Structure 1
Amino acid sequence: MDIDLIFKIAGTGIIVAVLNLVLKRAEREEQAMMTTLAGIIVVLVVIIDEIGDLFEKVKSVFGLW
């Protein structure tokens, strides 16, 4: 298992959480919501890329080209 992937996701989550907290304290609820959504989208893109790599490896192992 690639530990870098876990660190990327955790780092993104920490940054989004801090930004969300700061924006909510500044009474900017809409920007806090958009920051959270952007963080979710970034993590989903990273995960989808890794799933694509997994499918390519499975294809190569079973010779499904």
Structure 2
Amino acid sequence: MDVDLIFRIAAIGIIVSVLNQVLIRSGREEQAMMTTLAGLIVVLMMMIYEINTLFQTVKTVFQL
């Protein structure tokens, strides 16, 4: 896991929170919720890739 991944996740969080606040202030709560869910899905997909890499490394180390 690289520090770059942490910065990417933080950047996505900041962008999603700003978009969420802008959409809520303009009265579009449904779009704000969808934006939040989309940001969550993007971060989860990034984490799934990293977890897959972790499992591959563990399999290689223990020769499974």
Smaller-chain TM-score range?
over 0.9
User: Over residues 1-60 of structure 1, what are the superposed CA-to-partner deviations in whole Å (9 max), with x where a residue is unaligned?
Assistant: 410110011000000000000000100000000000000000000001000000000000
Unaligned 5+ runs, structure 1: none
Q: Which runs of 4+ in 1 moved over 4 A?
A: none
Unaligned 5+ runs, structure 2: none
Normalised by the length of structure 1, the TM-score is 0.96
Matched residues, percent identical? 69
- Of the two structures, which has the highest relative contact order with CA contacts closer than 8 Å and spacing of 6 or more? 2
**Pairing 1:1-65 to 2, within 5 Å after superposition:** 1-64=1-64
